[in-house]
Structure 1
C-alpha cells in the first residue's frame, strides 16, 4: 500500500493515507453538461522523478545475515525506547497443515526462549512496569508478524534485557512440547472469542472479496482442528522456514543515542546465522476477474448492516518512491476528502440513505493490489438504498467532477493538518512514529522527515488542479474486478444478487443531477454583546495554574505547558445536569439530548459548520450529564478564538431544526434496531435490568419505539435552562497557551454571557442498588462460548484517596493473578481482568468488576479459581513481587502521562468537581511508593464482601 507518511492525524489520516496509481489514461468520458475538456493535461511539474529521501535522522542498515534495522533518537517520552521486531511472514505463508500456526508461533515467543523460561518473560517485564497487553504485545496478520516492546532506556540493565528479549523473539524460541500443549488452550480460547455472527458471515464474503486467492484460506486465527492436533514438528517447520534474519527488521525509536541503539542491534542480531538455501518468500496475488462478484451474508445475531463496493486495480501497485508518486498520493487523498464530505452531507438529510459512508483509494489485503472502495452502514432493510446512494455519488463525480470551491477546502484542510503536524514535530511520542519504519520495511518505501513532508506538500498542493483530481474517477471505477458485499442481520426478504446488479446497471444509466455547493458566511458570530471583565486573578504556583474569575461569575483556569506546540485542550462544567429534571422529564429527554447539537448553531447547519470549520483544527461539544452540564473541546493556538466563539454560541444560539433531529433519530434507529440480537449486548441489558431496573430513572436499552418517543421540544427547552447561567461554569484550558489571549477571549466570549448567580448543585437520588449475593445466568447465542462478570457496587461511609489507590491496586494485583491462573495455568481464557475504584460524588461509593470470556464447560471452575484468588489476597495480601509489579507499572505510566495535556486537564476538572485538594496530585509518586501489601489486603477484606452480582452468559443450548 502506498502511503504519504503523515501518521496519526486522526480521521483525516485515513484520507491522507489514500493513494493510487499514476494517471495513465487522460481521456475522459463524454458526460452530460458541463463537460470537462476532452483531454486532460496534468500540469508539468519539475522534479517529479526525484527520489523521496529517507529522514536523515534515521539510521538504517543491513547486517551481513540480511537483517534490516532502523534507529532514531526521539526524546518524547523521556527515558523510554520503543522496540519492534518486524517479521515479513504471516498466515498467508502457512502450509495446509499449518493453518493458524503463524499466530501460534507469536504466542510461543512468550512461552520459553533461550534467556527466559516459560512465563518468566512476562513476569520480568511486569516487574519493571511493562504491562502485558497494554504495553507488551504482538500481532499476526496475513503477511506480517510484529512484536511490540517498550523498554526503559535510563537503566543499562533493563535496556540490555530489552534487546535480549527481541533477540530471543527473532531466533531463540525453545518450542518445547509441553509449552506448546499448554498454549493450545489459550489460543483456542482466543479463537473462541472471535466466533459469532461476523465470523459466520466472513465465511460467505471472504471467498468473494479475496476471490481465487490464498488469502481467502489463511485467516490468521487458523482452524481449530489444526490448533488442537498439530504435531510440534509442524510448528517448528514454520519457525525454521520463516523466522530468519533476511525476513526481519529491528526498529528502535526513543530517548537514547542512535549509536548506542545501533550497536545493541549489531551485538544481539549479527550472531544469528544467515540461512542456507532458504525457502523462497512468495508474493501472494489477488487475481483479476472480468465480472462483478456479489456476496450477501445475513445472520440472526448480526446487529449492523453494511455495504461495501470495491474496485480492484487491474495492475499491480507500485510503492511511493518519487516526488511524482508523492504528488499522485496527494491527488488521491484530495479526491477522498471531497467525496467523503459529500457522503457526510447525505447523512444529514431527514431520511438519510445510510448511517455513515466513506470512500477512499488505497491498499487491499494483498500488498501489490490497490482498490477504490465505497462503504456504508445502513438499516438492515436499507442496503439496496445505501448501495444506490454510494453508486450515485460516484456517478455524480464521474459526470460532473468536483467544483473548485470543494478542492480549495480540501487543500485548506490538508494545509492545516500538515502545518499542525509540522509544528509538533519535536513533540511526537515514539510510539506514534515507530510504526512508520516498520511499514517502511514491509513496503520498501522511504519515510521522509516531517520537514520534507511539510515543505513538499506546501510546494505541491497549489499546483494540483481540479481537472486532474476529477480524472481519478475514471481510473477508479470499472465494470470488472468489482466486488459488492452485503452483511447484516437476517431480514424477511433478503436482497438478491439480481437486485444488486440491477441497482448497479440502473445507476450507471442514470443522469444524476449535479452537486450543488453552498456558500458559507465568513464569520461565526455576526453580532456580539459587550465584553465583560476579569474581576479577580489567583494563582497556584505549585500546580502552575492561573484562575480568572469573570464579571458574570464564571471562572477560567489555565495551565500553560510545553508538552505540545499546537494543542490546547478545554473542559468546563457546572453542577446540575439531569439530576435537576423530574424522573419523567429525564426519561423523555434522555435519548433526545444526543441529537441537540445536530442542528448546528447560529443559523448554520452541520454541513455549513463543517465547511466553515474546514482548515480550522477545533472542536467543541456540549453535554448534559447526570450531575453536570459540560463542554469538551480542543484547538490549535491559531484557532483558539474560534473555540471560544463556539462555546459562546452553544450557550446562546443553538439551532432548533426538526429535520436535523429527524435525521439523528433515523440514524439511531437504524443503528440500534437489531442490537439485542448480539448475545453480549443482550447479556449486558439483562444484567442492567436486574441491577438498575428498580431505579425510577432507569430507562433501559434504547429501542426504536423509545427513540420515537424522544421529546425534542422538551430536551431543547431544558438545554436552554441548563445553559442559561454561564456564571456557575468552571472552564479549564491546558496546553500551549498565551495567557493574554485567553484573558481577551474570556472577557469577550464568556464574561459577556448571562450570569444569574444560581450556583446550583446536583440532587442526589435516593435509589441504591440492592445488596446481597446475587446470581443470574443468561442464555443467548448459538456459539459455544460464555462470558463471566462479577460486580460489586454499593454506597460506603466515606471517600478516601488513599483507599481509592489501594482499591485500584487491588484490581491490578488481581488481574495479574487472573492471567497467571486462569490463562497460563488453566488455559481457560485468552483475556480477562479486574478493575476497581472509590468515588466521592454524588455520594461515596465502591465499585469493582471482574470479567473474562471462556468456554461454557469451564465457567464454574474458572469462577471458583477467581474467588480463590480473592480469598488468597484477603488472607495473605499480594506477594511482594506482585506489589512491586503494580507499583512499577503505576510509576512508569505516571512518568509518561504527567507530561501530557490530557492528564492535567482531567486532574484539574476532577479535583474541582469532587472538591478535592488539587495539590495532592503532586504527591502521587509518594503515595504509590508508600502503598503496602497490607493496604491492598485490607481493601480486599473491607470491600470485596458478599454483596456481589455474578452474571454468566451461556449459549441457548447449555
Structure 2
C-alpha cells in the first residue's frame, strides 16, 4: 500500500505540473471553473493509473529468510550406526559404542521433567597448551559463544533457535576440554545437531573476536576499581611472581596476546577428535528416541584413534614460607588477611570427605569467635580440600576481613584454633552438625537429574559409584575426631604456608 501511495503522489504532482505549466496553457488565466474542470481531469487520470498499478502490482507478505531452515541445512551427513549397547546395573545406565568409536553413557532420569543434559569430556585442557598460547586459550570458550555455530552468526543462530530451549557451552579447563549442554526433551535433536556442528563445522567469527576484545578491555577497566580483584591479583603475584607464564595477571598486556588465529588453532587441536571424548546423556529422554539421533548426529562425526592425557602443569610457590604485608588503600578502611597451607598427601574418598569436614568445622569455630565474640570481623571463611590431579596434595585456606590494626589479634586466634584441631581439641557437636548438614544436602541433591549425571561421570571417569553408601554415607558416619586430628596434623606439619595481610594504614612492613 505504501508503494501505491508513493506512485499516486508522484503522478499527482506530474499531472498538476503538466496541466498548469504546459506550453499551451496560461496558468494566470485559470478561473474557478477551469480549476474544477482541471481537478476532475486529474482525478480521472489518477484513478486510471491506480487501477493500472493494482493490476500490475502483486503485494507479497514479509517472509523471514530463516523460516524452514535448520542448523544442518546445506550440510551433508553420512549416518553411522550403533555397534554395541551394554547395560550397567550398578548405575542404571546404558553405554552405546558407535561405529566411529565414540562412547555414550546414557541414563533415563525424570526427576526434572522435560530436562535433558549432555556432557562431553576429554583429558588435555590447558595442560597441553604452550605458555605463549595460554592467553588465547583462556578465552576460547567466550570466543566460541560469541561466534555462533556452523553457517550462522550468533545473531542468525538466535533466529534459528527461536522457540527452542537449548544451550551449549565450550570449556577449556586446567586438565580437560568439555562441552556442556542442556535442552528440553522436544529440542534434544537440535542439541544433537549443535554437538555435531561443534566437531564438524565450528564457526570462528572475526566480528565476535573484536567484540570479545572490547568486552575484555571493558572488564579490565572495571576490575581496576574492584578491591577484591586487586587483592586476588596481589595474592597471585605474591605466590607465583609477576612474570610466571602459567599464572598471569589479567591486564592490558595479557589481552594484547589474545589472538584470533591462535584461538582457532587451539580449538581445532583440542576438539578435533570426538572419539577422545566421553559423552554422558542424562534426562527425560527415552532410549528409543535417543538411538536414531546417536546414529545420525554422533556416529557420523569423523574420528581418529588418537588418545590424549593431561600433563602435570602445577606451579610451585616462590617460597615454601611466605609472610608479606601489603599497603592497599580501601574505603571503608579495613584489613584483609589470607592464610594458606599446602602439603603432599595421598588422595582417597575418605581424605576428601575429612578435608571438607575440616573446613566446615574450622569455619564454624572462626565465625563464632571472630564475628560473634569480638564483633570486629566483616567476613570469615575456611576451606580445606585434597586434589587428585595433577598432583596429590591437601590444602587449607583461611580468609577474613577485620577492622584496621586488629589483624594481629585475629591471626593469633586463627593459629590457636588450627593448633587445637591438630591436638584433637574438636567439638563433637560441631562434627555432628557438619555431618547432619552433609546428609541433608545429599538427600536434597538426589532429587535432581544432575545427581544422576554426577553418578555417571564419577563412575566412568573416577572409577567409583557415588550412589553406593560405602562411598559417602558410610565414610561420613564413621569420621571421628581422631581422623580430623591426624589429617590436620599431616597437612600442617612441615607444610608450605603463606600469610598475606592487606592493610590500609601506612604503618606496614616493607
Question: C-alpha separation between the residues in 1 aligned to 2:62 and 2:180?
Answer: 31
Normalising to structure 2: TM-score of the pair?
Answer: 0.82
Q: CA deviation at 1:932?
A: 1.1
Question: C-alpha separation between the residues in 2 aligned to 1:908 and 1:777?
Answer: 46
1:530 aligned counterpart, secondary structure: coil
Pair 1:792-2:341 in alignment: yes
| Aligned position for 1:851 | 399
The 5 Å alignment of 1:270-349 reads none
| Aligned position for 2:199 | 651
Q: CA deviation at 1:521?
A: 5.8
1:130-187 Cα offsets, whole Å, 9 max, x none, are xxxxxxxxxxxxxxxxxxxxxxxxxxxxxxxxxxxxxxxxxxxxxxxxxxxxxxxxxx
Question: C-alpha separation between the residues in 1 aligned to 2:314 and 2:369?
Answer: 40
The 5 Å alignment of 1:693-712 reads 693=241, 697-712=245-260
Residues 955, 809 of structure 1: CA spacing in aligned structure 2 closer, same or farther, 3 A cutoff?
same
| Aligned position for 1:950 | 499
Task: Decide whether the 8 Å contact of 1:813 with 1:882 is kept in 2.
Answer: yes
Task: Decide whether the 8 Å contact of 1:891 with 1:925 is kept in 2.
Answer: yes
| Aligned position for 2:53 | none
Correspondence for 2:416 among 868, 873, 878: 868
Correspondence for 1:815 among 352, 363, 379: 363
Pair 1:556-2:104 in alignment: yes
Pair 1:670-2:218 in alignment: yes
Question: C-alpha separation between the residues in 1 aligned to 2:263 and 2:343?
Answer: 31
The 5 Å alignment of 1:116-195 reads none
Q: CA deviation at 1:677?
A: 3.0
Pair 1:842-2:390 in alignment: yes
Pair 1:764-2:315 in alignment: no
Residues 795, 603 of structure 1: CA spacing in aligned structure 2 closer, same or farther, 3 A cutoff?
farther
| Aligned position for 2:71 | 524
Question: C-alpha separation between the residues in 1 aligned to 2:365 and 2:258?
Answer: 46
Residues 831, 872 of structure 1: CA spacing in aligned structure 2 closer, same or farther, 3 A cutoff?
same
Residues 405, 824 of structure 1: CA spacing in aligned structure 2 closer, same or farther, 3 A cutoff?
farther
Root mean square deviation, CA, Å = 2.4
Residues 525, 800 of structure 1: CA spacing in aligned structure 2 closer, same or farther, 3 A cutoff?
same
Structure 2, gaps ≥5 residues long? 6-60
| Aligned position for 1:639 | 187
Q: CA deviation at 1:792?
A: 2.3
Residues 541, 592 of structure 1: CA spacing in aligned structure 2 closer, same or farther, 3 A cutoff?
closer
1:856 aligned counterpart, secondary structure: coil
Residues 878, 518 of structure 1: CA spacing in aligned structure 2 closer, same or farther, 3 A cutoff?
farther
- Kindly tell me the number of residue pairs found equivalent between the two proteins: 444
Question: C-alpha separation between the residues in 2 aligned to 1:831 and 1:694?
Answer: 28
| Aligned position for 1:615 | 163
Pair 1:900-2:459 in alignment: no
Larger radius of gyration: 2
Question: C-alpha separation between the residues in 1 aligned to 2:453 and 2:358?
Answer: 26
| Aligned position for 1:303 | none
1:84-117 Cα offsets, whole Å, 9 max, x none, are xxxxxxxxxxxxxxxxxxxxxxxxxxxxxxxxxx
| Aligned position for 1:200 | none
Residues 802, 529 of structure 1: CA spacing in aligned structure 2 closer, same or farther, 3 A cutoff?
same
1:853-872 Cα offsets, whole Å, 9 max, x none, are 21122211111111111111
| Aligned position for 1:586 | 134
Q: CA deviation at 1:624?
A: 2.0
| Aligned position for 2:150 | 602
Question: C-alpha separation between the residues in 1 aligned to 2:157 and 2:458?
Answer: 31
Task: Decide whether the 8 Å contact of 1:877 with 1:936 is kept in 2.
Answer: no
Question: C-alpha separation between the residues in 2 aligned to 1:879 and 1:802?
Answer: 20
Question: C-alpha separation between the residues in 1 aligned to 2:349 and 2:467?
Answer: 9
Task: Decide whether the 8 Å contact of 1:695 with 1:767 is kept in 2.
Answer: no
1:402-446 Cα offsets, whole Å, 9 max, x none, are xx999xxxxxxxxxxxxxxxxxxxxxxxxxxxxxxxxxxxxxxxx
Residues 562, 671 of structure 1: CA spacing in aligned structure 2 closer, same or farther, 3 A cutoff?
same
Correspondence for 2:231 among 683, 687, 692: 683
Task: Decide whether the 8 Å contact of 2:337 with 2:407 is kept in 1.
Answer: yes
Question: C-alpha separation between the residues in 1 aligned to 2:243 and 2:120?
Answer: 28
| Aligned position for 2:294 | 746
The 5 Å alignment of 1:416-495 reads none
Question: C-alpha separation between the residues in 2 aligned to 1:856 and 1:686?
Answer: 19
Task: Decide whether the 8 Å contact of 2:141 with 2:169 is kept in 1.
Answer: no
| Aligned position for 1:733 | 281
Structure 1, gaps ≥5 residues long? 1-33, 35-403, 407-516
| Aligned position for 1:540 | 88
Q: CA deviation at 1:594?
A: 2.7
